[in-house]
Structure 1
Amino acid sequence: MDLGEFEVYRIDSYGYDETPKTIAPKSRNFIVFKPRNAIEVSKILKFANERKIPVFVRGGGTGLSAGAVPTLDGILISTERMKEIEIDVRNRLAICEAGVTLDELTKAAEKHGLSFPPKPGAENATVGGIIATNAGGVRAMKFGVIRNYVLGLEVVLPDGRIMKFGGKTIKNSAGYPLLQLFIGSEGTLGVITKAIIRLLPQLRDMSMLAIPFRNIEDAMEYSIETCRKLTPLGLEYMEKRAVEIGESVSGKRWVSKEGEAHILSIFEHKWEAEESAEIAYSCNAIDVFLASPKEQRDLLDIRSKIYLGIKNRIIEILDICVPPASILEYLRKSDEIARKYGIDVITYGHVGDGNLHQHPLIFEGWERVYWNFRREIMRLAVEMDGTISGEHGIGEIKRDELAELFPEQYGIMRKIKEIFDPNGILNPGKIFK
């Protein structure tokens, strides 16, 4: 292969993602390739594999687990030029390349009265990235996660082979579902270059409630009862400090200054919101606010700006997921662990599906105690039949805990990695040491 046929870059900003700087690994020397299609990706990988050169893959750089950080000298493939998208209206599908952003996919689908239901937080995240991490988001409890919408993939393997898995059908019982191996694989098995994605009819209207509670016990009881009787699009929990941070960054005002625990409830139908309001009052809600369309946008903006307002003050963002009915128990026990180590934690998250985002704040000398705190928190989640990452992935910063807490599964995953990537060139250091 003649490297001269490609434009090669050295772009320092590609050496990091959204992982907090306190915990993010440092990038090494790397050159950036920006291929335009699977054929060009194939040439790059074949060249690298023959010479055992590490290859890292980057989408929108929105990851929170250092999954795209090039931590060894090598090559970084950016999918930003891979932008082709086709909407198959009659089959209700999107066929798009890996560099298409979530925002571009959403707008393309909406032009045809269709929608891509999952709502991962970053609109500039790419299709390849959200598939590689099996991203979730606000609507996961009703519509599922990315895995539920990927019907087919085009993947380039480390040796340069271009493979297709799945197709345009929802049903497929033809052998092992190899497609599923690549969803959530974080670029360690192959480079995703194209996806066939299932779409749904566009949502016509949404109803949204903002509900303040005096304490977290009442808020969690409301969440459990609402999910028992209804199926919301999403239930978002925010402690009071998180709301205040979102307000300060967005410039918008929350509906109530009262309450220590706040729930943002999102429904597809107004009757669901009305019934949920009755549940809220039965769970001692201070009040229930039905948001107008403009207020809905403001409330979601406040929610989306929390991380932006806090990211320079935190050690990292923990991505624990536990059974929804166990959230209150988990929060009580994790608070005890935090107090033991003198760590202040700000929490919000998707309580409808049990996925919490906990933000331990930086303090002097945190390095001496934080890792023990983190290990106890993750072990607690696993002991409660949960997991150490609900949607952000393992990347480089959670691989030790994955190996420690899921040793048998980790061993199987490593064997799968060796089958697809025997030279270990793809995203080295991610998921595996």
Structure 2
Amino acid sequence: MRAKVDHEAVKALEEIVGSPHVLTDRQKMEDYSHDEYALSSLRRYPEAVVKPDSTRQVAAILRLAREKKIPVVTRGGATGLCGGTVPVSGGIVLSLERMNRIVEIDKENLMAVCEAGVTLRDFYQRLKEENLFFPPHPGEESATIGGTVATNAGGARAVKYGVVRNFTRGMEVVLADGTVLALGGKILKDSTGYNLLNLLIGSEGTLGVITQVTLSVMPVPGSQMTILVPYEDVSCALATVPELLRRGVLPLAIEFVGREVIAKAEAYLGESWPVSAGNCFLIVILEGDDDEQVMKTGEKLSEICLARGALDIFAAEAREKQESILRIRSMVYEALKADTIEILDVVLPRTEVEPHLKAIAEISRREDIWLPTYGHAADGNVHTHITTRTAAGSPLKDWEALYPRVRKAIHDDARKRGGRASGEHGIGLVKKEYLGMFVDPAALQLMRGIRRVFDPDGILNPGKIFD
């Protein structure tokens, strides 16, 4: 039985972090009642928001919470799209916003040590000053390091560099009983017992509170180019991607996006897409040691794309053109957000993306619902927006009844194609009903058992991933 945060608990929390860093006023806690999940109805208020500034304070808070059986939801930037930081059981929201220090940039070992509340924006900027970069780029730079590790975030660059897991070398984590663990370190390999580090990555705050992370970083590549490739239709565009990879063209990123979606982002930003031809586009980012190497790769890419039906090749060599293309693409979610019920995150073998899109088009036609879709072409991660609009763009009157049927149909199609429910957003609250569809029952039972070992009282982010 979980307890409420009573007056005595509030006083104890104030003694740990100081009274200015404990919120109990409902109005001041509004920002902590939700994440970026599109439906505003998914809001739950905590009974207290606590803002520690050290691992020691986090440990003290968790010891208190366990003693009193108070739920604790860890919060970073709250940029998630699955309700993962929504305090569905009330209790304490443990906000790591004050734990925002970049502890060390180790240029010799190419490692960075950060507190969990450091934003990606601040991290990228600091690395840039050192001529270094962190390859994973989930998209929203107000996300925090701790949150990206807790969800194993990905982004467009996964095709070349992998996801956050591939760069997480160590962490400091506080368990439900206040025990502090130091896992991994400034090392590139480790066969010393069970890999608890990898178990914590992607656990969405259900196994412990990540307070500090050690990450691999890399030198900044010498040259980069963005290439925009228009096609008449998405089938031709996606058929090109396996050929590029087979022929040894490994870009930093390959995105696919349709004209209709781009038009929404253009209108939202008041900017113009640089290519008028085509109904679907591949956005390809190349990088290399120098301009000559990148140009040579670009020529090979152009040859392959044109042979596969590309209408043109637009190489944005100027930085401002590159930034404009990527800015318009990055604003797609915001441009669609007002009409979005949920953005899906299925991931499939890359050869199954095109038939999956055909299935989505058929669902859209059959149910008369607008389902704008785009994604990461080379790693198979597809983002479909289930919207409150008809296929023709009119308001959808019965979307509440239609929504569960449509999302089930899309997940059913992804499952039969060997896909998974989430490539990078995580499960959180919103996607947990589909976990059993994609995870073997025996594996699910093991997951539940692991969670009980780490958190026998069930106080850490209750109601997330599974009940």
TM-score norm. by structure 1 comes to 0.97
| 2:417 aligned residue | 384
Q: CA deviation at 1:405?
A: 3.2
Q: CA deviation at 1:137?
A: 0.7
Q: Does residue 258 of structure 2 align to residue 239 of structure 1?
A: yes
Task: Answer whether contact 2:420 2:438 (CA < 8 A) is retained.
Answer: no
CA distance in 2, matches of 1:58, 1:142: 29
Equivalences for residues 323-338 of structure 1 within 5 A: 323-338=349-364
Q: CA deviation at 1:283?
A: 1.2
CA distance in 2, matches of 1:133, 1:426: 15
Deviates more, 1:422-431 or 1:6-15: 6-15
| 1:401 aligned residue | 434
| 1:220 aligned residue | 238
Task: Answer whether contact 2:30 2:45 (CA < 8 A) is retained.
Answer: no
| 1:179 aligned residue | 197
CA distance in 2, matches of 1:296, 1:405: 38
| 1:418 aligned residue | 452
CA distance in 2, matches of 1:382, 1:153: 33
Q: Equivalent residue of 1:360, what SS? A: strand
Equivalent AA in structure 1 for residue 367 of structure 2: Y
Task: Answer whether contact 2:51 2:98 (CA < 8 A) is retained.
Answer: yes
Q: Equivalent residue of 1:368, what SS? A: helix
CA distance in 1, matches of 2:273, 2:442: 46
Q: CA deviation at 1:123?
A: 0.7
2:315 to 267, 290, 311: 290
CA distance in 1, matches of 2:254, 2:337: 23
Task: Answer whether contact 2:360 2:371 (CA < 8 A) is retained.
Answer: no
Equivalent AA in structure 2 for residue 259 of structure 1: G
Equivalences for residues 142-161 of structure 1 within 5 A: 142-161=160-179
Equivalent AA in structure 2 for residue 424 of structure 1: G
Q: CA deviation at 1:258?
A: 2.2
CA distance in 2, matches of 1:256, 1:113: 32
Q: Equivalent residue of 2:86, what SS? A: coil
CA distance in 2, matches of 1:20, 1:250: 20
1:254 to 252, 263, 273: 273
Q: CA deviation at 1:223?
A: 1.7
Equivalent AA in structure 2 for residue 330 of structure 1: H
2:301 to 276, 282, 287: 276
Q: Taking structure 1 as reference, are residues 3 and 360 closer, same or farther at Cα in structure 2, changes over 3 Å only?
A: closer
Deviates more, 1:328-337 or 1:30-39: 328-337
Q: Equivalent residue of 1:369, what SS? A: helix
Give the alignment's Cα RMSD to 1 decimal: 1.3
| 2:286 aligned residue | 267
Deviates more, 1:58-67 or 1:200-209: 200-209
Equivalent AA in structure 1 for residue 442 of structure 2: E
Equivalent AA in structure 1 for residue 14 of structure 2: G
Aligned length: 432
Q: Equivalent residue of 1:175, what SS? A: coil
Task: Answer whether contact 1:53 1:425 (CA < 8 A) is retained.
Answer: yes
| 1:16 aligned residue | 34
Task: Answer whether contact 1:30 1:70 (CA < 8 A) is retained.
Answer: no
| 2:291 aligned residue | none
Q: Does residue 411 of structure 2 align to residue 372 of structure 1?
A: no
Task: Answer whether contact 1:210 1:262 (CA < 8 A) is retained.
Answer: yes
Q: Taking structure 1 as reference, are residues 25 and 403 closer, same or farther at Cα in structure 2, changes over 3 Å only?
A: farther
1:26 to 43, 65, 71: 43
CA distance in 2, matches of 1:58, 1:164: 21
CA distance in 1, matches of 2:36, 2:121: 18
| 2:391 aligned residue | none
Equivalences for residues 350-361 of structure 1 within 5 A: 350-361=376-387
Q: Does residue 105 of structure 2 align to residue 125 of structure 1?
A: no
Q: Which runs of 5+ in 1 are unaligned?
A: none
| Consecutive aligned runs of 4 or more in structure 1 exceeding 3 Å deviation | none
CA distance in 2, matches of 1:371, 1:228: 39
CA distance in 1, matches of 2:89, 2:369: 32
Equivalent AA in structure 2 for residue 352 of structure 1: A
Task: Answer whether contact 2:386 2:407 (CA < 8 A) is retained.
Answer: no
Q: CA deviation at 1:337?
A: 2.6
Deviates more, 1:182-191 or 1:203-212: 203-212
CA distance in 2, matches of 1:19, 1:408: 30
| 1:77 aligned residue | 94
Q: CA deviation at 1:294?
A: 1.2
Q: CA deviation at 1:51?
A: 1.1
2:182 to 164, 174, 178: 164
| 2:3 aligned residue | none
CA distance in 1, matches of 2:47, 2:407: 31
Equivalent AA in structure 2 for residue 334 of structure 1: I
TM-score norm. by structure 2 comes to 0.90
CA distance in 2, matches of 1:256, 1:408: 50
CA distance in 2, matches of 1:278, 1:227: 14
Q: Does residue 447 of structure 2 align to residue 428 of structure 1?
A: no
Q: Does residue 308 of structure 2 align to residue 308 of structure 1?
A: no
CA distance in 1, matches of 2:13, 2:134: 38
CA distance in 1, matches of 2:178, 2:302: 55
Deviates more, 1:405-414 or 1:295-304: 405-414
Q: Equivalent residue of 1:80, what SS? A: coil
Equivalent AA in structure 1 for residue 264 of structure 2: I
CA distance in 1, matches of 2:204, 2:187: 24
Q: CA deviation at 1:30?
A: 2.4
| 1:40 aligned residue | 57
CA distance in 1, matches of 2:229, 2:278: 9
Which of 1 and 2 has higher RCO (CA within 8 Å, sep 6+)?
1
